[in-house]
Amino acid sequence: MAIKAELAAELKDALRSGDKPRAAVIRQVETEVSRARSEPGFTGDVDDALYVQVIGSYTKKMAKAREEYLGYGEQGASRAEALAYEIEYLSRWLPTALGEDETRALVEAAVAELGVDDPKMAGRVVGHVMKSGTEGLDGALVNRIVREVLGAE
C-alpha cells in the first residue's frame, strides 16, 4: 500500500477513535508534502519517495527540537514527549538507519581507502562516505565518527 493511502487510512482511524496526537502528526506530514510539492522547481510525482523524503526531513527537525525541549527540564518535558511520539510513529515509513558500529566500519574503510590521517581532511572522508550510496546513513553520526577516527575533536 502506498504511504499516502496508508496515511489516509490512519487519519480516518485516528479521527474515529479520537486519537488527536496521531491525527495531528498525519496532518502535519500532509502539510509538509504540500509545501514540498509547491516549492519552485518541484518536478515529479507525489509518490512514496517524496513521502519518505518529507517524513525523514520532518523527523530530523522534530528530533532536534526534542533535544532543545529536553534542555528546558520539566517545562519542556511534555512537549519533548509529544515530539518523541511523532518521531516514533513516523519511523515506520523510514528506511532503517545504520547503527554506530556499522557506520564506524564504513568510516574506517573510507579512511583506509583514501589513505587519510590528517584531521583537516575530515570533510573529504565525510563526503566520500555519504556519496557511497549506503542506505540509512546519518550525516551527523558519520561526521562525528570521522572526527573521532581522525582525532579532529
The pLDDT mean for the chain works out to 89
Position 152 scores a pLDDT of 67
Residue 66 has pLDDT above 70, yes or no: yes
99 pLDDT tier (thresholds 50, 70, 90)? confident
Average pLDDT over residues 109-131: 88
In angstroms, what is the C-alpha Rg of the chain? 19
Average pLDDT over residues 122-147: 85
Burial class (CB in 10 A: 0-12, 13-18, 19+), 47: exposed
Residue 115 has pLDDT above 80, yes or no: yes
Within this chain, do residues 81 and 113 fall inside the same structural domain, yes or no?
Answer: no
Within this chain, do residues 19 and 58 fall inside the same structural domain, yes or no?
Answer: yes
Q: Say if CB 84 and CB 94 are below 8 A apart.
A: no
119: DSSP letter: G
Look at the pTM and tell me if it is higher than 0.75.
Answer: no
pLDDT digits (tens, 9 = 90+) for 5-34: 999 999 999 999 999 999 999 999 999 999
- Give which of 112, 104, 106 is closest to 148, Cα–Cα: 104
Within this chain, do residues 10 and 53 fall inside the same structural domain, yes or no?
Answer: yes
Q: Say if CB 130 and CB 137 are below 8 A apart.
A: yes
The Cα–Cα gap between 52 and 1 comes to 14
Residue 59, domain extent? 3-93
Residue 117 has pLDDT above 90, yes or no: no
Amino acid at 57: S
Within this chain, do residues 8 and 83 fall inside the same structural domain, yes or no?
Answer: yes
Amino acid at 39: E
Within this chain, do residues 18 and 68 fall inside the same structural domain, yes or no?
Answer: yes
- Counted domains in the chain: 2
42 pLDDT tier (thresholds 50, 70, 90)? confident
